[in-house]
Structure 1
Amino acid sequence: MTLSKIDNPGRSRSFQTISVIGLGYIGLPTAAALASRQKHVIGVDINQHTVDVINRGEVHIVEPELDSLVKNAVEQGYLRAVTRPEPADAFLIAVPTPFKDGHQPDMAFVEQAALSLAPVLKKGDLIILESTSPVGATEKMAEWLAQQRPDLRFPQQETQNPDVNIAYCPERVLPGKVMVELIKNDRVIGGMTRQCSLRASELYNVFLLGECVITTCRTAEMCKLTENSFRDVNIAFANELSMICDAQGINVWELIRLANRHPRVNILQPGPGVGGHCIAVDPWFIVSQHPDLARLIYTAREVNDHKPFWVVDKVKAALADCLTVTGKRAADIKIACFGLAFKPNIDDLRESPAVEVTQLIADWHAGETWAIEPNVTRLPAMLADKVTLQPLEYALAHADLLVMLVDHTQFKLIPSQQIAQNWVVDTKGVWR
């Protein structure tokens, strides 16, 4: 099947009830977008608290515009949440795909979702896997479903006219702008057959303003992994450059600004590492299937995974200097870590290098370790017993050593004269 574009076929009337399995950072916005087009949406999540929150018309994640969309959809009767799948015309699977030991893809949540919806499938249904997955995952999901429902014909069994259509369509949205990019961005649709792709395109065109571009399911799976691996490699270059510049006594942010004046150079900004469920995870899916070939991708992952430890070494050096100058004991020094999210202005802590740095500091520092994170109200479990969540103003007034990890807008707005501390480790160049 060659790559081709599908014209918008108009607002589909064939999908009256749509089920979204997994109501997290992708599933819930997708469910809200469909419900806003007056489609009846059944959201499925195994977390009873999440289900209860949504059924009250509230949200459990921070994302601009999402709260009002969910509230309106629930009040108007177009969105409701349950813990077990119910019959629908289409099913979108948006569950996590973490990795196991050795950075091997963990498809347990996808398998669980597929097995849970199998009993309610009927002829004419559409299933779309949105979860980031290794190449071949969509076909594997189709096999699981066929084993559970031998009374139905799936695309691998009947390519011309299967009872159930199956496709892969990865999300490509930016946290903090999900409700905008979900609507406007193009979607790569990888059906197991062309008919599957057309059916999936018809569903996305319920709310999509961008284009549906179809290809094979394997190419679509690889496309998602490629996009995030490309970004990971470029971030690794910036992070490696920042460590080299530090050793040379060069301001890396000035260097990048100057280098980027070249018309064909666009170096990204360095940071404490790479976080989020996509960029920090997806490249390993390629490496796991081709360890001998994915040498550059593997090295980039190593560079970015090492950066938090390098940051902690800089904090240790700053603390040692602080102790020498002030004559204080380490137990008396308060270290404030600014930011825990994996990127600015969101509450998502998944795979966050800021969380890792904060945890590493708290593990060895004899004094108090504080976290300043305006987007969360409580700390994750791995920090709860050794880190204190503090307000911004209090930390600025009482901390001895500041560690800038996430360039939230609130932090960037702090006047430089308000930073009275002599010891600052700034991984984002905010206070330079």
Structure 2
Amino acid sequence: MRVSSWGRLSAEPHQPLLLDGMAGRALPLPEAGRTALPYGMGRSYGDVCLNPGGALWMTAGMDHWLDFDAASGRLTCQAGALLADIQCLLAPRGWMLPVTPGTQFVTVGGAIANDVHGKNHHAAGSFGNHVHALTLRRTDGSTIVCGPGQNAEWFHATVGGLGLTGLITQATLQLRPVAGPWLETETIAFDSLERFYTLVSESEAAWEYTVSWIDCRDRHGRGLFMRANHCDAAAQVPAEAPRPRGLSMPLTPPLSLVNAVSLRGFNALYYRMHRARAGRAVSHYLPFFYPLDGIGHWNRMYGPRGFYQYQCVVPFQGGERAIEAMLAQIVRSGQGSFLVVLKTFGHRPSLGLLSFPQPGITLALDFPNQGDKTLRLFGQLDAIVSEAGGRIYPAKDARMPTSLFQSGYPQWEQFLTYRDPGISSAMSRRLMGA
């Protein structure tokens, strides 16, 4: 069947291998001469979850919970379990994921393989920092149980390992205690990048979650800074959770709805509306953590050619100049995004050999696919990232050059020794040769 990632840049034939509980069963293998790759919800933007011409292990059926200790908050589940289900079922009972990305429609296995991060890296690190153990099935029939204290070298290769070390079948996660599903939030409008960095410095000691939206069409870097903490038990919160809005993109328009005219109008309106509503509030975790999950198939708005996401991180030293230079280049290009996220990563080390987060500033933007015009812009942004000593996020990438991958991930050669030769992806063939 034809399979696409969330960026919808292509839809190529794959052999699907459906998985379920599979306890004690042999791992289904692809046709002779072909490789396989784990596939969860397909929410990666580029080609990390694709294996054109090969097979995909479809893990959505491996979604059983195996054990939960309500006293310690330790959950063991199969790798196909959704973050959405963990949050929905356990937040009202006083436990939540300590780290969650910008969508809840991600499997546990996918979150580990991409070592996802959230809006609280400065406080909690990335997803892999909260994994106690995982089970890995290899195409040679072997099974490896690993964690920070057991077969640690396999654990460090698999966390952030892009699904290339084997099929993760189950994992044990440490959740964090909360009083409930509510957050105390504050939104602050700012009119320059300098003000953003000041807000970050003032906020990270007292606020667990910090993130900013940036108007990529504004040369000064105006935006909205959002911060939040979990409410304590005595907080006054609404009586019930928000109901799903039921919004959806019913079809793919013939042309991208994101263009120079719509960007200018939307970004100006979005900034003014939220500046007028700035201040403190109490919010359910859903709209704060996952603002786009309320719009079904939102990726269709970029039209039939799909879209790229470009996410990089640059070190703090020199990073402010690099971010300013990238935003200026984007303004000059006439391209851009409704969805521009600017935040910082803290100093907690990531555990994976290929984990993306490093101390510094991270910028993420969506770009409609305009062919060579878009790729030329990315080449210009790559040069700025490379000069600053930064890296690109593989979970979001569809075109990173090999040179930037190798400079950004200096442990890539060490990682190759842990690869499963029966597993391959479009990304691995593009960046690692196989």
Between the two structures, name the one with larger relative contact order (CA 8 Å, sep ≥ 6): 2
TM score, norm. by length of structure 2: 0.24
Larger helix share, 1 or 2: 1
Larger strand share, 1 or 2: 2
* Bigger Rg over Cα: 1
TM score, norm. by length of structure 1: 0.24
